[in-house]
Amino acid sequence: MRQQFQTLEEIHRVALTKLDDVIVDYLEGGAGDETTIRRNRSAFEEWEFQPRVMSGLSSPPTATTFLGLPLSIPVLTAPFGSDTMFHEDGQKAVARANQAMGTVSMVPEAGSFSYEQVAHAAPAAARIAQLHPAGSDENFLRLLARISAAGYSAVCVTVDSPTGGWRERNRRNALEFDSSIIGGNYNPADRDQMEAALGQLFTHVDNVWSWHKLSSLLDDFELPWIAKGITTVADARAAVDAGASAIIVSNHGGRQLDDVPASLPALVEIRSELGPGVDIALDSGIRRGSDVIKAVALGATAVVLGRSAVYGLTADGQRGVERTLELLTEEMITVLTLLGRGGITDLNHEAMRRVPR
């Protein structure tokens, strides 16, 4: 039977037809003049492949691990919140798709469903829980305890969101979020806690968190933690020194501060600084399988799929996310075969070179 979608671009196009214009702006838009969104994509054009022909290889393996978690392909789905705005099953559908495909979900704090609900929907995939260093110490520790009890394997701390970005599309549209789509981890009695912890995402609030405070609160936590939102060598080193077991090089898809480094060149610099001993995921700008191959060759252990996962979810729920991951896998295998490399874990800088200027 012919699959419903044949390309990722087709999934993208269908998804946008299902959303109101205001939600399209929220999804597609970014901070400021949206310069960083454009740079995230153009950065991939600055690198070209160096294939080895007549390699005698076929069907190269795509499997790898991230923080010890097995991945059929080097892809994690992003912890995007407001998920039922795109499909009624939201992150539960995303997690089920990951479970079917052998990949891993990063489950958001500001999602429509609780950590426990998503873990129950797909326990093999809901392995990383995301939260924000915000609100009271007590609420942060309470969420950590719930994450551990729900069976997660790691925590992702989003460190680049002390407040929401200056997103002019949202301002023009007077976009507001109902608590039902971002408050899955908070019941009505916890509304004050939710507003204190998540209010910073949409308004300017006092934020007194630091690496020292974050490290102190995570000191006795038994699970490894990941710092998400790193774009500089200095912050990468600070995260590792604070106890992070892995980092995610990310500018939040260009949605927070505009005119910051594109994620791909930031990855190259950070990998050079940290060496091979730290798992690093690349977030922001991934749109196709060849992007994943470039990211891994340039130092990423895995990539984080944000907007593309949302497109799949919007287009066809769980099946749309599965098809997104299938198409990524098919393209990655094609590219690896034509590159003449043995598989994902064999990739390195030798497979790439900068485009001559």
Residue 1: predicted pLDDT: 47
Kindly report the pTM of this predicted structure: 0.95
Q: Which CATH class is domain 8-49+68-332?
A: alpha beta
Please give the single-letter amino acid code of residue 127: R
What sign does the CA torsion over 94, 229, 221, 208 have?
negative
- ∠ at Cα 159 (109, 297), nearest 5°? 100
For the segment 37-65, the average pLDDT, to the nearest whole number, is 92
Please give the single-letter amino acid code of residue 352: M
Residue 185, pLDDT above cutoff 90: yes
Q: Can you give the residue ranges of every domain in the chain?
A: 8-49+68-332
User: Residue 22's Cα: distance from chain center in Å?
Assistant: 23
Contact assessment for residue 201 and residue 161, using Cβ atoms and an 8 Å cutoff: yes
What sign does the CA torsion over 307, 308, 313, 314 have?
positive
Whole-number mean pLDDT of the chain? 94
Closest to 43 measured CA to CA, from 195, 268, 226 = 268
Residue 331: predicted pLDDT: 97
Which of 12, 87, 132, 252 is flagged as catalytic? Answer: 252
Active site residue 87: no
